[in-house]
Amino acid sequence: MTKPLWAPWRLEYIQAADEQEGCVFCLAADGDDEEKLVVHRGRRAFVLLNKFPYSSGHLMVAPFRHRAQFADLDDDEALEMHRLAGEALEALAATYRPDGHNLGWNLGRVAGAGIVDHVHLHVVPRWSGDTNFMPVLADVKVLPEHLAETRRKLSAAWPSRTE
């Protein structure tokens, strides 16, 4: 039986996403890694924590270039983004041992994209029983660890690759 993952707190964020000044990914691409929650930087793309996560360790992989459509990515960007998603799975497994993962592209507002003008890939760790009554009844999401600590741990666990 499939259980829904409710995330009612995201509605407020999605409704206000277009009112923010500047692109969150472009700002993070040029910002301080700790402040912007960047976990790892590649040549064409980078990985950062989602400030409004579905679950602890929810990562996003974005290209450095500001591109609104998946088709606007060049082959090297698309390949690196998927390679970084694979490395994210390794770092999450080593750090938090999730029971599974959701990976996905939310392309367009109706598809769930909170940020529609800079394409990105979600990497969401999942655990058995990771949904609970708090978001549904109290409009509260319980995260067991501060985002800065999660960023530090995942950055330290990031697999080293020689290219």
CATH architecture of residue range(s) 20-156: 2-Layer Sandwich (3.30)
Strands, E, within 50-127: which ranges?
59-63, 100-105, 121-126
Q: Which of 82, 120, 122, 146 is labelled catalytic?
A: 120
CB atoms within 10 A of CB 111: 10
Tell me the per-residue pLDDT of 12-28, one tens digit each, with 9 for 90 and over. 555 555 566 788 899 99
- Per-residue pLDDT band for 77 (boundaries 50, 70, 90) equals very high
Provide the residue ranges of all domains of the chain, joining segments of one domain with +: 20-156
pLDDT, average across residues 147-153: 90
Active-site residue 40, yes or no? no
Read off the pTM: 0.79
Read out DSSP for 121-140? Answer: EEEEEE-TT---HIIIIIS-
